[in-house]
Amino acid sequence: MADTVPDRFALDAGDKNRMEQVCSQIGLSLNTDSAISPQTVGGASRIPFAVSDDPFYSESNIRYLEGLMEDVKAGRAHFVRHDLIEAD
């Protein structure tokens, strides 16, 4: 494992809250984001990707998907054949 050094920086409370919300919505923690940024910027001398808020990872959609999984496990889900899905 590489040597690690502690680092601290000041961040506006509002910016931090918004950053935590966006990180949460895309499935990251603020800690993970803080670790990824220096690695990508230092390694590539640029930010090599764009990350945006994806509604798929929103709390409401996660709860909806968890409910669907419970229905599948309990045998309550009924699936319909769709023309875009190829049959085996």
Average pLDDT over every residue of 71-88: 81
Instruction: Answer yes or no: is 21 within a domain.
Output: yes
Q: Provide the whole-model pTM.
A: 0.45
Instruction: Answer yes or no: is 48 within a domain.
Output: yes
Q: Which domain holds residue 34?
A: 13-73
CA distances from 68 to 19, 41, 50, 55, 79 (A): 29, 39, 30, 17, 11
Instruction: Answer yes or no: is 87 within a domain.
Output: no
* Rounded Cα distance, 34 and 28, in Å: 10
Instruction: Answer yes or no: is 2 within a domain.
Output: no
- The count of structural domains within the chain is 1
Per the prediction, the chain carries an average pLDDT of 83
Instruction: Answer yes or no: is 5 within a domain.
Output: no
Average pLDDT over every residue of 32-54: 77
Instruction: Answer yes or no: is 33 within a domain.
Output: yes
